[in-house]
Structure 1
Amino acid sequence: MEGVHANEVGAGFVTTAVGFTASFAVVLTGLQAVGASATQSASGLGALCLVVGLGGLVLSLRYRVPVSLAWSTPGAAVLAGSGGLPGGFSDAVGAFMICGALFVLTGLWPFLGRLMSRIPAGIAQAMLAGVLIPLCLVPIEAAVSSPAVILPVALVWLLGVRFWARWAVPVAFGAALVVIGIAFATGAADAAEIRWAPSLALVLPTFSWQAVLGLALPLYIVTMASQNVSGAAVLQSFGYTAPWRPALITTGIGSATAALFGGHAINLAAISAALAAGPDSGVPFARRWRSAAWAGGFYVPLAVGAAAVSTVALAAPGGLIPAVAGLALIGTLASAVQSAWAHTADRVACALTLLVAASGITVWGIGAAFWALLLGLVTRGVLRSGRPATGV
């Protein structure tokens, strides 16, 4: 039996560290936006860590492919932009479960995957970009209202982007921890409120058509287009074939399970997947699945510490954590805008999609993401009607 190699463990640790620190603030922001309490947000983060870890570990060991899982960061952004639901957080949990069921159906029923693939990528990316714009404006607004808190963190993030792009957000989060530590030391935040004991809070789901249309469908579409498809492409770029159907079934069941404890959705990792699957890991091609397995294993203890991380983050002064979440999403926004503008024939439809999604409107209890997708598709259909197909 082959022994453990330091490079394998190191690549797995880096994959987990970057994946967690780069986006957990987005998850907390999104869950709170759909009505989660502080306890439920911490539970949701813990459940996601546990499912991401165990799912990635099982898939990597079973298929000997460096399959890394992650929570849906674009999906969390959709939550943050969706506003409240008629039934509160329990309606959101019902939407999370439906999204998980759709992942499973996509894995079992190829027709659903083909149907989803017919949604133009530009429209889906424009919807995502519109959802992200208000979130990415938060650091700017917070820098005006709390410059002493936000500007040092933003500067660290900018320097990280310039000199060490992969670690820009984790380093910015480290700077945020320094600011939070100062707040605790000076009495601006109460360290006694930190919950060190791990906890999972069961949330019974309720189901409403507003939650299905306004949250479950946008969450499913954004996660499939921006995460699962991209994650499979990342693995392919390094010479691996993703176990597509087993991954969708695993992430679907995992998402539905995590939903009962407040988690929103998990998927194939895209950006962080390269840390375990790529040659920069220093691990031979045939052994990189071990790095992904280690990455899954490292997520499990993070589930134990999720309550403490959440309470520390939520105690941060001056809107610091939402600002860090906004900084974390700027790169995703740039990529989404670039993809949305790729086809000249669809730019008007994509622009309308982006604007509606960014507006934050709610009609009949259904959030802006659904209306953006609907109006974008209708506009595209009208503008292309009777015209020959063109390229870009």
Structure 2
Amino acid sequence: MAGQAGRTVNDLRRSNRAAVLQRLYFDGSMSRQALGPATGLSSGTISNVVGELAADGLVEEAGSVDSGGGRPRTLLRIVPASGHLIGVDVGETRVRVELFDLTLTELARAERVLTGHGYDVGVIVEHIRDAIGDVLRHAGTTAGHLVGVGVGVPGIVARTPQDGAVVHGQTIGWDAVPLEALLRDACGLPDTVPYFIENGARTLGQAEMWFGAGRGAQSVAVILFGSGVGACHVTDVAEQGRALEWGHLTVKVQGRRCRCGALGCLEAYAGAEALLERWREAGGCPPEGSDEETALGALLAAAYPAGEGAADPVALAVLQETAEYLGAGLSGLINLFQPERILMGGWAGLELGPRFLAAVREYATAYSLGYPAGRVTIDLGALGPDAVTLGAATLPLAHFLAAGGRRARPAREIVAPAWRAALEGRAVH
């Protein structure tokens, strides 16, 4: 039965459950008495909701606290093992899959290195399928305990009624890849396990906003600096986070050719791949046959040698130029979105950041309008190089909490009402 605003009793119950779960999740253990003011729900509603959640195995008692002279108050908490989450990072050099409990404690992880096949869609799907199987076996759990699977990918993610999430990854050669449909067919998970596929910068942004250096801010721009560069603008309402193809902002007319095919993109100067290529062109010598992570380490060692060794002026110059391009790129985010904070993450960003973040700040200020530049702070992300995987796991977690802890149910077959079949023969043809 619908209420005056079109809400049904089930909608109201789901909303109440979501309010309690979200408060317990983000604020930690609380008593029934504290949950009332925190959620705006009556004591009777809190009692009913807590009873439902406890019966579903989602909430349990977790000790008690002194009530200031009265009877001790029982604390409640979310049961960590009441559901499992999978986060997937389709990165530049590897596919990483992690299994978490509801508190985002890691239970198992598996990685697949990307070799000569690169971003071949079939290979990526196989890697994800096999790695999901590995983490479930390692943790001794089954797919039936999964709340959902989150996947962070390069490129733009659109959605269609037929295929779900479709990835447009121009830099990796993906043209309208129906990744959700491919994963659902390949992985063989139950129909009740939903997939949530987003741009990797978007997942990183949500993780930093919820649990990292973005906590407490109303507007944050998060930079994913890896082989390429991307960004996400996130507000204090997680659903408003939006991935930005920031790496393909033109920073030099008729400049270097980017891997997307255009000229002068920021990514053609500031991504790890382009940075190393520019070092080679300037006379640098990365270790023969090394991967990007090893080569970037060699560049840093050349520019900032240990002990009393002389710095390589070529390596220093390349890093300084990269800092200027990054600062100029950040000025666009500052002027357009006026964020409170800019956070740089990704494996390359976290490795380079301690060395040249001060220069990036200076250039960003110089290229930006004074007022927004004076209000923004630029720092490193707080969740480490694996934060895309963690952020991917928050996608099903957010849906689970918003649904009041209800898991998805298989779609029921729709049976036409009897009158429709009876009257079909009377239709005029």
Between the two structures, name the one with larger relative contact order (CA 8 Å, sep ≥ 6). Answer: 1
Q: Which has the higher strand share?
A: 2
Shorter-normalised TM-score: what interval?
A: under 0.3
TM-score relative to the length of structure 2: 0.20
Q: Which has the higher helix share?
A: 1
Larger Rg: 2
